[in-house]
Amino acid sequence: MARAAKKVAFVVGASRGIGRQVAVDLVRNGYVGEYHVVRDYSSIQNLLDVLVYNSGAIWWASGLHGTIQASLPHFRANGWKGRIIVVSPPIYSRFFRGKTAYAMGKVGMRVLTKGLAMDWEREGKREMAITSIWPAAAIQSAATRMAEKDAAHELRKPTIYPDAILAMLDAPAAKFNGCLELDEDFLRREGVVDFDKYNFVVGSKPRRIMPKLLPDLTVNEQDDEGKRMDNTKLRAKL
Is 178 in contact with 130 (CB distance < 8 Å)?
Answer: yes
CA of 132: how far to CAs of 30, 78, 152, 193, 229, in Å? 22, 22, 26, 22, 27
Given this model, what pLDDT does residue 45 score?
55
Q: Which of 16-30, 120-134, 145-159 has the highest mean pLDDT?
A: 120-134
CA of 67: how far to CAs of 56, 64, 161, 221, in Å? 13, 5, 21, 33
Confidence tier at 24 by pLDDT (50, 70, 90): very high
Given this model, what pLDDT does residue 39 score?
45
Q: Is 108 helix (H, G, I), strand (E, B) or coil?
A: helix
Q: Give the residue, 55 or 112, on which the prediction is more confident.
A: 112
Confidence tier at 36 by pLDDT (50, 70, 90): low
CATH of domain 7-210: 3.40.50.720
Q: Give the residue, 11 or 57, on which the prediction is more confident.
A: 11
The answer, yes or no, to whether residue 161 has pLDDT greater than 90, is yes
Average of pLDDT values for 56-65? Answer: 60
Q: Give the residue, 62 or 60, on which the prediction is more confident.
A: 62
Average of pLDDT values for 150-165? Answer: 93
DSSP structural state of residue 16: S
136 vs 161: CA distance, rounded Å: 10
79 burial class (0-12, 13-18, 19+ CB within 10 angstroms)? exposed
pLDDT tens, residue by residue, 76-94: 999 999 999 999 988 888 8
The answer, yes or no, to whether residue 58 has pLDDT greater than 50, is no
The answer, yes or no, to whether residue 215 has pLDDT greater than 90, is no
Q: Where are the beta strands (DSSP E) in 164-226?
A: 180-182
Lowest mean pLDDT among 9-18, 20-29, 35-44, 219-228: 35-44
